[in-house]
């Protein structure tokens, strides 16, 4: 373990990919701030991190409900003045249906979770990235968007463009490594529920996707551009990295 403790914050930590990412990050970071909807899954992650000689602050949070950023900031302040990894894994994916049938409340809730919450988090958490140590800000950006995924697709497109713009604003802070990453299709209850016709066994495990993504994220820390784009679903190779 490093002499200086390194801190990671993961939203959506109890989702399929969020859990996998936390488990893969345990060998890189010392303390985790974990936000997720399911306290029992947070406690399972806590036990797993303890076995890896890490510690965690568990913060039950459903982003479809009101979110008080000051509570999260207080949790962080109690432990550290610096964050070294942030992953925005919280996501909601409403039932696929024609746009004419989409309820306005469902549309607004999708944008709340997939876009607006992340804007709020970036705005509120940037003071914890004012240090000069290497730090990553990772935003999973799924491009598996068949017809009838209008709200999900639009919210993810908005987040992608927002991150591209913000990363350019921080070009003078090269220690901040912004990343838009499509982890690709993986075995998950969400995918099975949304698209029951797909054969889960044909997709990689979430842990495999997380491992591959982090390998290429960490292997490209010297990239001069402020933003990496990683797409693990491109057919030309197992992974593609764009700078």
pLDDT reported for residue 226: 83
pTM greater than 0.85: yes
Pairwise CA distance, residues 86 & 111, whole Å: 20
Angle at CA of residue 79, ends 25 and 33, nearest 5°: 35
pLDDT reported for residue 192: 73
pLDDT reported for residue 146: 59
Q: Where are the alpha helices (DSSP H) in the chain?
A: 16-25, 39-51, 69-79, 104-111, 117-125, 150-169, 189-194, 206-218
Give the rounded distance of the alpha carbon of 46 from its chain centre: 18
With a cut of 50, which residues of the chain have pLDDT below it?
1-3, 235-243
pLDDT reported for residue 3: 44
In sequence order, what are the residues at sequence separation of 6 or more whose Cβ sits closer than 8 angstroms to the Cβ of residue 125?
9, 73, 76, 83, 86
Query: Would you call 230 helix, strand, or coil by DSSP?
Result: strand
Strand-strand pairing, 227-231 and 240-242: antiparallel
Helices H, strands E: what count in the chain?
8, 8
Q: What residue spans define the domains of the chain?
A: 7-173
Instruction: Please tell me the CATH superfamily of domain 7-173, with its number.
Output: NAD(P)-binding Rossmann-like Domain (3.40.50.720)
What are the structure tokens assigned to 81, written together?
């003045």
Query: Would you call 47 helix, strand, or coil by DSSP?
Result: helix
Q: Is the dihedral of CA 180, 184, 190, 194 positive or negative?
A: positive
pLDDT reported for residue 20: 97
- pLDDT, tens only, 174-200: 899 999 999 888 888 877 766 677 777
pLDDT reported for residue 203: 85
Give the rounded distance of the alpha carbon of 140 from its chain centre: 5
Pairwise CA distance, residues 156 & 145, whole Å: 10
């Amino acid at each position: 373990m490093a002499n200086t403790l390194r801190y990671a914050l993961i939203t959506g930590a109890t989702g399929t990919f969020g859990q996998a990412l936390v488990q893969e990050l345990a060998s890189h970071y010392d303390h985790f701030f974990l936000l997720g909807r399911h306290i029992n899954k947070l406690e399972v992650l806590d036990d797993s991190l303890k076995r890896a000689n890490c510690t965690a602050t568990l913060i039950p949070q459903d982003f479809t409900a009101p979110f008080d950023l000051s509570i999260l900031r207080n949790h962080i302040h109690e432990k550290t003045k610096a964050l070294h990894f942030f992953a925005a894994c919280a996501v909601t994916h409403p039932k696929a249906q024609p746009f004419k049938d989409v309820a306005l409340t469902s549309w607004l809730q999708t944008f709340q979770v997939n876009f607006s919450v992340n804007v709020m988090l970036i705005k509120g958490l940037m003071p914890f990235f004012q240090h000069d140590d290497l730090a990553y800000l990772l935003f999973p950006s799924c491009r598996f968007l068949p017809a009838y995924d209008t709200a999900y697709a639009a919210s993810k497109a908005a987040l992608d463009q927002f991150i591209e713009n913000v990363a350019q604003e921080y070009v003078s802070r090269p220690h901040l490594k912004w990343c838009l990453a499509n982890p690709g299709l993986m075995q998950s209850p969400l995918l099975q529920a949304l698209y029951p016709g797909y054969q889960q066994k044909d997709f990689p495990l979430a842990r495999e996707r997380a491992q591959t993504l982090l390998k290429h994220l960490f292997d490209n820390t010297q990239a001069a551009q402020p933003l990496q784009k990683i797409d693990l679903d491109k057919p030309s190779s197992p992974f593609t990295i764009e700078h």
